[in-house]
Structure 1
Amino acid sequence: MCNRAERGDTQKVLNLFGAKKGARSNEGPLPIHPARPGTVIRLDNGERVLEQMTWGFPLTQKSKRTGKPLKPKPVNNARFDKLHTYFWKWAASKPEHRCLIPTARYCEACGESGCMTETWLSVKDQPIFAWAGLWANSDEWGSVFTGVMTDNAPELHHVHDRSPVIIDPADWDFWLTAPLEELYRFDRPYPADRLAVEHTTTPWFQRKAVAGPGQAHLL
């Protein structure tokens, strides 16, 4: 499942999607991570708007020890074959809760446990592509979104067995407006020969500098 990506440059996204800035359109960093800001394209009164939302639907669980609610976890990916289930269907079945996630590239962890590195994937002929998504308003984090996932092409199973649902430009409006039962044609691997794969030596897990009182330390 994808939990690291890079959004498209704001002005390029606005031009590409023929969108305007929505009410929630603050700039954020290009890298996006779960429970942090990202951007989506959605329809508002028939117009495409670009808005900033938090990546991941909040899932609140209770402590097995105390029974008290725990800090919500971001559910940042929705499996296509699970869109009919209770957790997702209420949003997936309503076109007004669908969105497109403008993405320059996304990342997967590759390698053996303990020494995984970043592998980045992008669409060769689309510097910014549309990743199918769902969005909602939440009590915990305000407006949130999740990316829909499907099976990966067999040639790319060494990277991951699943991948984002990539919607080509001719189908953008269809994703945003069609009934849920007509969307299942997108539940198929995206052609591997249309994707660029960049293996890197960058560790997947990196120590982060954390500011302390008058100093910084590493976790």
Structure 2
Amino acid sequence: MLRRMCNLYTSKVTGAEIARAFEAREPAFDFTGDKDLYPKSLAPVVRDTGEGRVVEMMRWGFPPPAAARAPVTNVRNLASPFWRTTLGRPDRRCLVPVTKFCEWEGEAGSKIKRWFAIPSRPVFAFAGVWRPTEGDPAFAFLTCEPNPIVAPIHPKAMPVILHEDDYAGWLSGEFAQACALATPYPSQLMTVS
């Protein structure tokens, strides 16, 4: 089942700062992180080329399956044929640099933004996947069960936030090892505002 959630985040760092944080080559493009990122936005991702990590701009949202109209931005069902081929290829996994992400709270017409961050990590990463498309390459990121800080606001899911020690495992691990990383991030390490 594909579930839409977390359709707003920020990456308020420069391309050079992303490269340093993720041990990647500095990008040849300028990225200032001055805009909120919504589906269809161009955003930086980090991937491993086999010769080191690079920072590249990709469009957020996989082209939809035939029955859908909107881009698919979140990966919930890791066994789905829609995702399994991509997840099974380490060269199609990526890190999505994030400074905070948003979930909406309240009733329709009066919803407010609630921002989640990790104070000890000014920039962190969602576990992402990418694929080439006609035009810009596309990316999406994994979601999992929400932790206790996210669940009261969004009880269905939260993004898979990787621990720094898990970056290499996500980018190069076997399918089962990589999917095992799709767990809720510890809520005691997060804040919400």
Same fold by TM (over 0.5)? yes
1:113 paired with 2:113, answer no
Equivalent-residue separation in structure 1 for 2:127 and 2:12 (angstroms): 14
Q: Hey, what does 2:123 align to over in structure 1? A: 128
Between the aligned partners of 2:59 and 2:149, the Cα distance in structure 1 is: 32
Residue 8 of structure 1: CA displacement? 4.1
In structure 1, what is the Cα distance between the partners aligned to 2:116 and 2:89? 30
Query: Superposition RMSD on alpha carbons, in Å?
Result: 1.9
Contact 1:8–1:102 under 8 Å retained in 2: no
Supply the distance in 1 between the matched residues of 2:46 and 2:7 (Cα, whole angstroms).
19
Which structure shows the higher strand fraction? 1
- Correspondence 1:104 to 2:99: yes
Q: 1:45 to 1:188 in 2, by over 3 A?
A: closer
Please, which runs of 5 or more residues in structure 1 have no aligned partner? 63-69, 199-219
Instruction: Return the offset for 1:148.
Output: 0.6
Counterparts of 2:179 and 2:89, CA distance in 1: 15
Residues paired across the two proteins, number: 186
Corresponding residue for 1:6?
A: 10
Normalised to the residue count of structure 2, the TM-score between the two structures is 0.89
The 1-side partners of 2:49 and 2:109 are apart by 45
Q: Does 1:84 align with 2:68?
A: no
2:136 pairs with 1:142: yes
The answer to whether structure 1 residue 73 and structure 2 residue 84 are counterparts is no
User: Structure 2 regions of 5+ residues with no counterpart?
Assistant: none
Q: In the alignment, is the contact (CA less than 8 A) between 1:152 and 1:189 conserved in 2?
A: yes
Structure of higher CA gyration radius: 1
Offset from partner CA, 1:54-110 (integer Å, 9 cap, x none): 000011547xxxxxxx9x52111111xx12211101110000000000100000100
Q: Name the TM-score, length of structure 1 as normaliser.
A: 0.79
How many angstroms does 1:182 deviate by? 1.3
Going from structure 1 to structure 2, the CA distance change for 1:60 and 1:85 (only over 3 Å counts) comes to: closer
Residue in structure 2 matched with residue 46 of structure 1 by the alignment: 51
Check whether the contact 1:42–1:100 (CA below 8 A) recurs between aligned residues. yes
Counterpart position of 2:153: 159
Identity fraction in percent: 29
The Cα of 1:45 is off from its aligned counterpart by 2.6
Measured in 1, the distance between the counterparts of 2:179 and 2:137 equals 25
Q: Distance in 1 between matches of 2:99 and 2:108?
A: 27
Cα deviations across residues 140-168 of structure 1 (Å, max 9, x unaligned)?
x4201001100111343111121111111
Shift >4 Å, 4+ stretches: none
Aligned to 1:66: none
